């Protein structure tokens, strides 16, 4: 089993819809969780950190489920500009090593 797993997609979603995807992790001791966005042929950029209590930033909501060892990302009222690949990252026992999922590709259609 991979340490961090994501459904590669693509998720094809009509504009204005709500979409959610998960990221599972295997290390129960992980403490830091992140969602990054990566546009085609560009570098990853931080979308959100994921806190234990869950957090929201505009149309984006991130949640952590420690019991089942996954994090989730919910996008409401999706825009064409949300089309991208969404990467999750989880820390390991080392303070300097993140383990990355392979990403979920999201395509928003007009």
Partner 1 sequence: NAGVTQTPKFQVLKTGQSMTLQCAQDMNHNSMYWYRQDPGMGLRLIYYSASEGTTDKGEVPNGYNVSRLNKREFSLRLESAAPSQTSVYFCAISQAGTTDTQYFGPGTRLTVL
Q: How far apart are CA 75 and CA 41, in angstroms?
A: 22
Give the CA distances from residue 19 to residues 9, 31, 94, 96, in Å, rounded to whole numbers and listed in that order: 12, 25, 32, 31
State which residue, 81 or 95, has the beta carbon closest to partner 1: 95
Q: Out of 26, 49, 52, 65, name the contact with partner 1 by CB under 8 A.
A: 49
| 3-state class (DSSP) for residue 13 | strand
Stretch that binds partner 1, among 11-19, 55-63, 66-74, 84-92 (CB under 8 A): 84-92
- Say whether residue 31 binds partner 1 (CB under 8 A): yes
- Say whether residue 10 binds partner 1 (CB under 8 A): no
């Amino acid at each position: 089993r991979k340490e961090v797993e994501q459904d590669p997609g693509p998720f094809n979603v009509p504009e204005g819809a709500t979409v959610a995807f998960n990221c599972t992790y295997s290390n129960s001791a992980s403490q830091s969780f992140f969602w990054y966005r990566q546009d085609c042929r560009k570098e990853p950029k931080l979308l959100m950190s994921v806190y234990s209590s869950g957090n929201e930033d505009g149309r984006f909501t991130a949640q952590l489920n420690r019991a089942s060892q996954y994090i989730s990302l919910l996008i409401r009222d999706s825009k064409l500009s949300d089309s991208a690949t969404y990467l999750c990252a989880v820390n390991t026992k080392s303070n300097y090593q993140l383990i990355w999922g392979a990403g979920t590709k999201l395509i928003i259609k007009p």
